[in-house]
Amino acid sequence: MLNSCDILFDEDLSMKFFAEHIGKSINIILSDGLEASDEVLTDEYKKKIALFINDFEIWYGDVFNAIKDYFNRKGISITLPDDVELMKIFVLFEQNEQGLFGLGFRIKEEQEHGCGLKIEVCDSIYKLIEIGDFDVAFC
């Protein structure tokens, strides 16, 4: 379980955490387009990031199902968790805003474009707001 003190971005504005639910390390990237990337991060901001990471098992199932539905509508069958690989989590919100995260996935049957989603967080409620190619995750 991560605490706010565990949220430490390096000079490239990234950090890693181990996602036990999927058994791999994931990169978290603080978008360099944010003012937050040039600011000292507040404890409250880091808590929002830590909570999102700690709630991985809560939102990941919904995300996986959304990806399956999205690709099934495109005629691409995603049936196994191994067909989808979370590569990066992008922090897309300023310190004074509600949480917004982008998730970038490698898709076994769509390696050229991958998949990207955005999740909005408000009071520990996770809402998928956009899905598309990988670049959705960071734009």
Domain boundaries, the chain: 4-137
Band of residue 123 on the pLDDT scale cut at 50, 70, 90: confident
Span 65-73, average pLDDT = 93
Structure-token pair, residue 134: 């990988």
Band of residue 10 on the pLDDT scale cut at 50, 70, 90: very high
Can you list the pairs that 116-120 forms with residues at least 24 positions away whose Cβ atoms lie under 8 Å? 117/63, 117/66, 117/67, 118/92, 119/59, 119/63
More confident residue, 100 or 110: 100
Cβ neighbours for 24, distance < 8 A, ≥ 6 positions apart: 18, 85, 86
CB burial of 18-36 (b: ≥16 within 10 Å; e: otherwise) equals ebeebeeebebbbbeebeb
Give burial (CB, 10 Å; 0-12/13-18/19+) of 139. middle
- Give the number of C-alpha atoms closer than 13 A to the C-alpha of residue 97, restricted to the C-beta side: 12
| pLDDT, position 117 | 97
More confident residue, 23 or 13: 13
